[in-house]
Amino acid sequence: MTEQPGMFGAELRLLDDRLLDNLDGWLAWGGVLPLGDGSPEGTTLVVATEAQILERVSWAELAADDASTTWNITLLSPTVFTSHGRHIPGVTPAQLATSLHARWHAWSPETQPPQLRRDDLGVLTMQDHTESVRVSLGMPRADRRGRLTSRSILATEGSLRISGVAGAATTRVFSRLMSLARFTNVGSHAAYGMGTLDVVAES
């Protein structure tokens, strides 16, 4: 997100190009977006003045992007992973790979890379510069969409640097998965903005 006096810019990440038509329609009708807690006193109306496509690639292009060996990852929003109904602290290559593969499988199973097993991930090393933060998932009481939960959870913020062995099959698959991270979130509660990554790849 970028910010200027009286204005701000936000990035939308879409896996379905058909949503661009919905976005065009919303902009044509004025692009009005309410921000706040849903109450008259705590809600502000903002108006989108313009939108542009920053990057657009096909699933086939993502599947061919297997040359990177190192990834500098910044967690732009708190990130949490869930297993069997329990929130798992921290962020690991295995969690990232599992989450991104699940999204790929849901949207384009015909182009998805092989699913990595935990035993395969030994060729990846990680420098962890993250910390735990407590995040409230409760929606404001005035919000008509209801409340997701009334308690807070531990999530992760910070940055990671993950490297793989050049030429290894696991590294090539992980490279494809990290390419997808430019267009989708990872982990749980992605619909609430959690799990947004900025990924800078190196060969």
Return the pLDDT at 153: 83
68 falls within a domain: yes
CA quadruple 111, 161, 76, 63: dihedral, nearest 10? -10
Residues 86 and 16 in one domain: no
Residues 197 and 146 in one domain: yes
53 falls within a domain: no
- Gap between the Cα atoms of 178 and 65, Å rounded: 9
Considering just the CA atoms, what is the radius of gyration of the chain in Å? 19
* Model pLDDT for residues 156-191, shown as the tens digit of each residue: 999 999 999 999 999 999 999 999 999 999 998 887
Return the pLDDT at 30: 82
Residues 67 and 10 in one domain: no
13 falls within a domain: yes
Residues 18 and 98 in one domain: no
193 falls within a domain: yes
- Gap between the Cα atoms of 160 and 71, Å rounded: 8
Q: Which residue's entry shows tokens 């267009």?
A: 183
Q: Give the containing element (helix H, strand E) for 179.
A: helix 169-180
- Gap between the Cα atoms of 81 and 189, Å rounded: 9
- Gap between the Cα atoms of 197 and 192, Å rounded: 14
First to last CA, the chain: 27
Contact (Cβ atoms closer than 8 angstroms) between residue 132 and residue 155: yes
52 falls within a domain: no
Residues 86 and 160 in one domain: yes
Phi, psi (degrees; rounded to nearest 5) at 29? -90, 15
Q: Tell me the helix, strand and coil percentages in the chain, rounded to 5.
A: 25, 30, 45
175 falls within a domain: yes
Sequence-distant (6+) residues with CB within 8 A of 146 are 139
How many Cα atoms within 13 Å fall on the side-chain side of residue 42? Answer: 8
Measuring CA to CA, which residue among 188, 187, 99 is closest to residue 149?
Answer: 188
Residue 7: give the domain boundaries.
2-47
Q: Which residue's entry shows tokens 């309410």?
A: 34
Residues 140 and 41 in one domain: no
Sequence-distant (6+) residues with CB within 8 A of 126 are 92, 93, 160, 161, 162, 163
* Local confidence band at 141 (pLDDT 50, 70, 90 cut-offs): low
Return the pLDDT at 144: 52
Q: Give the global pTM.
A: 0.80
- Mean pLDDT of the residues in the chain: 85
| Residue 32: exposure state from Cβ atoms within 10 A (0-12, 13-18, ≥19) | exposed
Residues 33 and 115 in one domain: no
Residues 28 and 98 in one domain: no
Query: How many structural domains comprise the chain?
Result: 2
- Higher local confidence (pLDDT), 127 or 55: 127
Residues 41 and 66 in one domain: no
Residues 80 and 8 in one domain: no
Return the pLDDT at 152: 79
Residues 16 and 89 in one domain: no
54 falls within a domain: no
162 falls within a domain: yes
Residues 8 and 86 in one domain: no
Q: What is the CATH number of the domain that holds 97?
A: 3.30.70.1900
* Model pLDDT for residues 60-110, shown as the tens digit of each residue: 999 999 999 999 999 999 999 988 888 887 899 999 999 999 999 999 999
